[in-house]
Structure 1
Amino acid sequence: MLNKEFINPHPFGFTNTVSCDSNGVKTIYISGQVGFADGKVAETFEEQAMVTYDNLVKELKAAGADIEDVVKINTFVVDLNRDKSKAIRVAKDKYFTQENQPASTMIGVSALVMEELLLEIEAIAVIEA
């Protein structure tokens, strides 16, 4: 039997995190996390990258997982360039070791849901149920 849990539903019609478990395996899907904290968007791209990863960790913990459990991340970046890619790598390296790198995709986009947002990261994690 498949069990689903909707964690941190958002008032705008989506859920930040959904976990599904079956046969002893729990898969956790985390919707796009952004550089928004304490009621405001972080000012610089580098700050947004750090806050985005901090928010990702909070969602993982709410689902009973940790950053080491992440198996896939998708990163969406407004006006992607080499400097932004490097800033994301710096933020990512704060959490992921060289031995624990998830499968990753980085995609350049023209805009995100709010004009001030410069990147968004979604993730999939897997743990024992």
Structure 2
Amino acid sequence: MSSNRHFSPEEMAPAFGPYSHAVEVPAGARTLHIAGQVGVERDGTLPPDAAAQTARIFDNIDLILRAAGMGPEDIVKLNFFVVSSDDLPEIRRVRDSRLKEPFPAMSLVLVPKLGRPEWRLEVDGIAARSDI
């Protein structure tokens, strides 16, 4: 169980999706900064569609979290960089199947392109865990 505190004050508009407006990390928590992840398989292949790329990204993030002794419940922030708004329904479907409450803070940014033309999205993030 994470000791991070999630905030979505009732006095403001509700979140536009499954995310928290803010997450507080306790003093002394270990913090993990996750570099931008793309949907590339271990063998270097890339699935052609946004849903499969999103699933691979979440698989990669899970591998990183496990290597750091953390889990999905420790994610405090995710940033999604998406090339085409047409892919958003698929991306959201996969994201929603992989994240559970309490949700991390999240941002979604539509961008004209990423590092390679075949990449449909990239996700980076921050995780934090208090081992106290």
Instruction: Note whether the superposition's TM-score is higher than 0.5.
Output: yes
- Displacement over 2 Å in runs of 4+: none
Root-mean-square deviation over aligned CA pairs: 1.6
- SS of aligned partner of 2:110: strand
d(CA) in 2 for partners of 1:101, 1:88: 16
Q: Does 1:89 align with 2:78?
A: no
Contact kept, 8 Å, 1:30 with 1:123, in 2: the verdict is yes
Structure 1 residue 36 corresponds to structure 2 residue 47? no
Q: Flag structure 1 segments of 5+ consecutive residues without an equivalent.
A: 1-22
- SS of the residue 1:107 aligns to: strand
Residues of 2 paired with 1:88 and 1:45: CA distance?
6
The percentage of aligned residue pairs carrying the same residue is 36
SS in 2 for 1:27: strand
**1:6 alignment counterpart:** none
Contact 1:36 1:51 in 2 (8 A): yes
Alpha-carbon separation, structure 2, partners of 1:30 and 1:128: 17
Counterpart amino acid of 2:57? T
How many angstroms does 1:68 deviate by? 0.8
SS at match of 2:63: helix
Aligned equivalents of 1:71, 1:108: Cα separation in 2: 21
- Measured against aligned partners, the alpha-carbon deviations of 1:78-102 in whole angstroms (never above 9, x if no partner) come to 1224xx22212211122212x2211
State the distance in 1 between where 2:37 and 2:88 align.
Answer: 17
Contact 1:80-1:109 at 8 Å conserved across structures:
no
Match 2:77 to one of 58, 65, 72: 72
More strand by share: 1
Match of 1:58 among 56, 60, 63: 63
| Equivalent of residue 106 in structure 1, options 108, 112, 117 | 108
User: Could you state the TM-score of these two structures normalised by the residue count of structure 2?
Assistant: 0.73
- 3-state SS of 2:122 partner: strand
TM-score by length of structure 1 reads 0.75
Number of residue equivalences: 105
Q: Which amino acid aligns with 2:35?
A: S
